Chain A
Amino acid sequence: MSRRVRRKVAKKGKEKIVLQGYPDVEDDVLDLERQEDVYWTSLPDDTVLQLFSCLNYRDRASLSSTCKTWRHLGISPCLWYSLDLRAHKCDAVMAASLALRCVNLQKLRFRGAESADAIIHLQARNLREISGDYCRKITDATLSVIVARHEALESLQLGPDFCERISSDAIKAIAFCCSKLKKLRLSGIRDVHGDAINALAKHCPNLTDIGFIDCLNVDEMALGNVVSVRFLSVAGTSNMKWGVVSHLWHKLPNLTGLDVSRTDIGPTAVSRLLSSSQSLKVLCALNCPVLEEDANLSANKNKGKLLLALFTEIFKGIASLFVDTTNKGKNVFLDWRNSKNKDKNLDEIMNWLEWILSHTLLRIAESNQHGLDNFWLKQGAALLLSLMQSSQEDVQERAATGLATFVVIDDENASIDSKRAEAVMNDGGICLLLDLAKSWREGLQSEAAKAIANLSVNAEVAKAVAEEGGINILAGLARSMNRLVAEEAAGGLWNLSVGEEHKGAIAEAGGVKALVDLIFKWSTGGEGVLERAAGALANLAADDKCSTEVAVAGGVHALVMLARNCKFDGVQEQAARALANLAAHGDSNNNNAAVGQEAGALEALVQLTRSPNEGVRQEAAGALWNLSFDDRNREAIAAAGGVEALVTLAQSCSNASSGLQERAAGALWGLSVSEANSVAIGREGGVAPLIALARSESEDVHETAAGALWNLAFNPGNALRIVEEGGVPALVHLCSSSQSKMARFMAALALAYMFDGRMDEYALVGTSSESTSKSVSLDGARRMALKHIEAFVLTFSDPHAFAAAAASSAPAALSQVTEGARIQEAGHLRCSGAEIGRFVAMLRNPSSILKACAAFALLQFTIPGGRHAMHHASLMQNAGAARVLRAAAAAATAPLEAKIFARIVLRNLEHHHMEPSL
């Protein structure tokens, strides 16, 4: 159920942000000045008890452990009236340790079969209410023992997941043991036999509320015998004989509310029940397809009885239950809760309605049916919001879960319905959810956080969440010791961190530290929380400032740990993505180097490029690409087998997403910066897949592949391979027709390297018998390449500007040429000394086309303001380039472009020379 948007960030660092000091975010800075004078332990007992009741069980336990006075208060019966064990591991020993405190326990909530087995060890003989979920494994034996030990039981609820192993035998046991039973709601029982129901009718005279929900078979005839029943739900139960129901149940003398939602009941049975029952007040039949086909049942024909269905006006209908019929609209629940004149019968109806509505709405939301848009927008969303304010905690929880669920329309793509999300927001849902999230109850916290997370996929909602203080609340919940709470809160931070606008606020709220701590806390066995935390950190790391914070909080170590040890695809993918983003700020912090220095980091990422999961492979390759910008990392990646792994990846990604293709090519590009790696890539068979990627339609992919081929081409062996593998036509095609100037530029540079004569000797030295034919084809290729390089350079040479520049040496004329020739992104390229040396040498090449090309390239690398222009200028100075440039600028034979470009480069060098830092 991971519902979130996965965001990839740009791989190439684009801009620079000046780093500022960031204040430490510490939450426990307290005023210490007067602390000495305050004697907290002498607070009145009732105030301390109230303080306890604001805290969850862990915090209560900690508070009880501070001193004798508070330990004593911590066991006060009023704090042990109800107990929710769902978030806690509860075995027999634990339960026994609670026994002394549970003497007066009235209400218990638990989760799962193990806790069910432990309940009797609480020795809470006075228990009135038990409610359990995750009940699939609870057996008849366990349930029979529970009811035998708790004869005072008045309410028993098991669900909403199916009680697969509970049979009618256990229901009989309930009937025999719990004669005070008032409420019994069980979900997903296979067969509820007549004898079990008859036993309930016989032994439980107070049984007024029955739910056999989502069962397979229920003996409807026997249910007609339970004369005490006032509220009955068979929602979602199949195989109901509606003929029997309509003939028998209207005779139930006390039946007030009946819920047949999500069944195949039809109009005949509904009409009959409504017309013939004396006592019935409300019939709830939401999402009953047969009934909805024939929606002519109008509410006013029903002798004052209320029918609730998807096609009725539910709020209005419920309002009609009240004597005071002023139009309450959507406030009907709120008005009822606030009303001072309590009507016991009405209260019972309303409480029951809240419960069954929340249950049915959640089920409808889960089933993700089509055709319900209108219902959700007009009534459903508002109903869920009303129910979220219920005084029944389980109703609140289910309503929040319902909100989290109904907005998601496609689980796979993590897409949500904007209209539904905005409907929730416009009805004040964000505030309500944030209020729930502030509760001490962890069940409410996690469900509210989940709803906030899913709704925040919508940017408008995310903004509202941030404005209402939601980021602080989520960051707080992310520190929870409860895994579910922390997981949903991390999911919320993940979704809020997608856009640029909330990253700073998340960091300010201490979110970065909280997320990193989550990874350490759940490093073993918590893939849901780990994936969300890593995903959020990945988004945050895309921001310069936050990325520094991630590192300061120990994020590098945490994420590398995940990349190394975690076995789950989703976690690996997000960890790799986070490391990629951390390493994307090479100019402004040293995270890149820091990742490389973390033991086993590079090895782990290399290993992840072999993952069976495409997302993992993609992010790992992306991380290696970014990391290879650091010289030491680059060589360490190669030493860790990165060349072989990435060549294999490039070879196998012909059908993969363009994201993976781009990163595979990019990582090879990064590695190929050093000569040894270039040679190794060629040797391992990297040329052919890169040529294939250079043929890709996707600009990002072919641009990156062209970059890699350019880096490979300086090596004569590689150059020859490129020719042999059919790379020349591919590069020529890029050079002349890519939409990306960068791709054209780098393809031209690759071709220029290949055909500046370096291959000639190498090809002749080759011992192959085909050498003659090869050199012939080489000549043809060379002619084609040079023709296209020339054409490429000419596209940047406006004849008028050139004429003006040739005629005058005024700076303005040269500037105009520069502007026309400038390729913006080329300013991001950083060349080594050897690279610059090659272009300087190329200025002396006999080919005037290559001369012009070399001058054009050097111009791009030295334009003032370019990121690495100063670096390149100083490299050129070391290489003695000025003399060569002056010669080129003055040469009588050189073409005009070469001369003008050379003059501009000279001027660029002078510009940089004057910079004081040089």
Chain B
Amino acid sequence: MALELKSSDNKIFEVEELVAVQSETIKSLVEDGCADNVIPLPNVDSKTLELVLDWCKNHVDMKLDEEKLKEYEDKFIEVDQAVLYDLLLAANYLNIKDLLNRACQKVADMLKGKTPEQIRETLNIVNDFSPEEEEEIRKENLWAFEE
């Protein structure tokens, strides 16, 4: 059986149900009988949805071959920050656990061992602390940096 998904930019994707229900969100819609018509996914654009569906399809197809799947995942997640961000949002919204885990791990790997300032540079975060707060935070986190 095939389902029809509509991205935020109004593109329709026709997908096997088995592939689509990798998303817990879609799965519960199906179970609740709300999948007869096109399922609108207003939080996911077509570009991201295409990637996400590729992930789901491969996880159905390659379910038994762990090695191939790992290879696929490693390659899949090699994307730039903007795509990674979109994937995280989509995985969260669609509730696809393995994709969410993999994407989180990818971000974590980018941050490991970095100082707060390096993390800000990496993720383009603005430091919104006052000097007093910074001192407070330093004390608060001192424990983690002491051997």
Chain A positions near chain B (C-beta within 8 angstroms):
28, 30-31, 33-41, 43-44, 46-47, 50-51, 54-55, 57-68, 70-71, 87-90, 94-95, 97-98, 440, 476, 479-483
- Tell whether B10 is near chain A: CB-to-CB under 8 Å: no
Chain B residues within an 8 Å CB radius of A90: 143
Q: State which of B80, B115, B146 has its C-beta within 8 Å of the C-beta of A62.
A: B115
Interface residues in B, total, Cβ within 8 A: 44
9 A-B pairs whose Cβ atoms sit less than 8 Å apart in the complex: A30-B122, A35-B123, A62-B141, A63-B119, A66-B123, A66-B125, A66-B127, A67-B129, A98-B143
- Tell whether B120 is near chain A: CB-to-CB under 8 Å: yes
Q: State which of B80, B92, B112, B147 has its C-beta within 8 Å of the C-beta of A55.
A: B112
- Per-residue contact bits, chain B 100-138, to A (CB 8 Å; 1 contact, 0 not): 110011011011111110111011111111000110011
Chain B residues within an 8 Å CB radius of A66: 116, 119-120, 123, 125, 127
Q: Cα distance A371–B51 when bound, in Å?
A: 57
CB distance from B35 to the nearest CB of A (A): 24
Q: Cα distance A645–B81 when bound, in Å?
A: 60
B137 touches A28 (CB 8 A): no
Chain A residues within an 8 Å CB radius of B141: 61-62, 64-65
Chain A residues within an 8 Å CB radius of B120: 66-67
Chain B residues within an 8 Å CB radius of A97: 139-140, 142-143
Q: State which of A34, A51, A58, A95 has its C-beta within 8 Å of the C-beta of B82.
A: A34
B92 touches A41 (CB 8 A): no
Chain B residues within an 8 Å CB radius of A33: 80
Q: State which of A34, A41, A68, A88 has its C-beta within 8 Å of the C-beta of B143.
A: A88
CB-CB nearest in chain B for A526:
B147
Q: Cα distance A129–B39 when bound, in Å?
A: 47
A28 and B122 contact, Cβ closer than 8 Å, known pairs A47-B100, A54-B104, A68-B128 = yes
Q: Cα distance A569–B31 when bound, in Å?
A: 69
Chain A residues within an 8 Å CB radius of B107: 51, 54
A28 and B88 contact, Cβ closer than 8 Å, known pairs A40-B124, A61-B141 = no
Q: State which of A39, A47, A59, A60 has its C-beta within 8 Å of the C-beta of B92.
A: A47
A55 touches B111 (CB 8 A): yes
Chain B positions near chain A (C-beta within 8 angstroms):
80-82, 85, 88-89, 92, 100-101, 104-105, 107-108, 110-116, 118-120, 122-129, 133-134, 137-147
Q: State which of A38, A55, A63 has its C-beta within 8 Å of the C-beta of B124.
A: A38
B112 touches A40 (CB 8 A): no
A483 touches B147 (CB 8 A): yes
A38 and B104 contact, Cβ closer than 8 Å, known pairs A61-B141, A64-B137, A66-B125 = no
Chain B residues within an 8 Å CB radius of A482: 147
Q: Cα distance A901–B90 when bound, in Å?
A: 83
A50 touches B143 (CB 8 A): no
CB distance from B132 to the nearest CB of A (A): 13
Q: State which of B112, B125, B133 has its C-beta within 8 Å of the C-beta of A41.
A: B125
B110 touches A94 (CB 8 A): no
A94 and B143 contact, Cβ closer than 8 Å, known pairs A55-B112, A67-B128 = yes
CB distance from A102 to the nearest CB of B (A): 11
Chain B residues within an 8 Å CB radius of A64: 137, 140-141
| Total number of residue pairs linking A and B with CB closer than 8 Å | 129
A62 touches B116 (CB 8 A): yes
A35 and B124 contact, Cβ closer than 8 Å, known pairs A30-B81, A71-B137 = yes
Chain A residues within an 8 Å CB radius of B118: 28
A43 touches B114 (CB 8 A): no
Q: Cα distance A34–B137 when bound, in Å?
A: 30
Chain A residues within an 8 Å CB radius of B126: 67
Chain B residues within an 8 Å CB radius of A46: 92
CB distance from A782 to the nearest CB of B (A): 70
A62 touches B143 (CB 8 A): no
Chain A residues within an 8 Å CB radius of B124: 35-36, 38-40
CB-CB nearest in chain A for B74:
A469
Q: Cα distance A58–B82 when bound, in Å?
A: 26
Q: State which of A30, A38, A57, A476 has its C-beta within 8 Å of the C-beta of B144.
A: A57
Chain B residues within an 8 Å CB radius of A63: 111, 116, 119
CB-CB nearest in chain A for B79:
A31
Chain A residues within an 8 Å CB radius of B127: 66-67
> Given A28-B110, A47-B92, list of 13 further CB < 8 A pairs?
A28-B114, A36-B124, A43-B89, A46-B92, A47-B100, A54-B108, A62-B119, A63-B119, A65-B138, A68-B133, A70-B125, A89-B147, A480-B113
Q: Cα distance A361–B134 when bound, in Å?
A: 48
A38 touches B113 (CB 8 A): no
Q: Cα distance A422–B127 when bound, in Å?
A: 52
A50 and B125 contact, Cβ closer than 8 Å, known pairs A33-B80, A97-B143 = no
Chain A residues within an 8 Å CB radius of B129: 67-68, 71
CB distance from B30 to the nearest CB of A (A): 21
B122 touches A59 (CB 8 A): no
CB distance from A88 to the nearest CB of B (A): 6
Q: State which of A43, A88, A95, A98 has its C-beta within 8 Å of the C-beta of B88.
A: A43
Chain B residues within an 8 Å CB radius of A34: 80-82
Q: Cα distance A564–B64 when bound, in Å?
A: 57
Q: Cα distance A68–B123 when bound, in Å?
A: 15
Q: Cα distance A31–B120 when bound, in Å?
A: 14
CB-CB nearest in chain A for B85:
A38
Q: Cα distance A40–B147 when bound, in Å?
A: 30
CB distance from A30 to the nearest CB of B (A): 6
Chain B residues within an 8 Å CB radius of A88: 143-144, 146-147
CB-CB nearest in chain A for B122:
A30
CB-CB nearest in chain A for B138:
A65
CB distance from B128 to the nearest CB of A (A): 5
CB-CB nearest in chain A for B145:
A58
Q: State which of A38, A47, A59 has its C-beta within 8 Å of the C-beta of B112.
A: A59
B144 touches A61 (CB 8 A): yes
A35 and B137 contact, Cβ closer than 8 Å, known pairs A50-B104, A90-B143, A94-B146 = no
Q: Cα distance A806–B45 when bound, in Å?
A: 91
Q: Cα distance A98–B105 when bound, in Å?
A: 26
A40 and B113 contact, Cβ closer than 8 Å, known pairs A28-B118, A47-B92, A97-B139 = no
Chain B residues within an 8 Å CB radius of A481: 113, 145, 147
Q: Cα distance A732–B139 when bound, in Å?
A: 76
A51 and B119 contact, Cβ closer than 8 Å, known pairs A34-B82, A88-B144 = no
A47 and B125 contact, Cβ closer than 8 Å, known pairs A55-B111, A94-B142, A98-B143 = no
